[in-house]
Amino acid sequence: MKITTYVTVTDPIQMGFPVFEAVKSYLSFSDEVLLVVGRDTENFCKQISKISNKVVCLETNLWPKDWVYQDMTYHMNLGLQKADGDIVIKMDADGIFADQHGEEIRKKLIDVLSNNLFCHLDRLNYYHGYGY
Reading the chain (132 residues) residue by residue, the pLDDT tens digits are 999 999 999 999 998 899 999 999 999 999 999 999 999 988 999 999 999 999 999 999 999 989 898 999 999 999 999 999 999 999 999 999 988 999 999 999 999 999 999 888 887 776 666 554
8 A C-beta contact, residue 41 and residue 11: yes
- In terms of Cβ atoms closer than 10 Å to its own Cβ (0-12, 13-18, 19+), residue 118 is exposed
- Residue 36: helix, strand or coil by DSSP? strand
User: For position 122, what pLDDT does the model report?
Assistant: 80
User: For position 132, what pLDDT does the model report?
Assistant: 46
The Cα–Cα gap between 54 and 13 comes to: 20
Task: Give, for 88, the enclosing helix (H) or strand (E).
Answer: strand 87-91
Q: What is the pTM of this model?
A: 0.89
User: For position 131, what pLDDT does the model report?
Assistant: 54
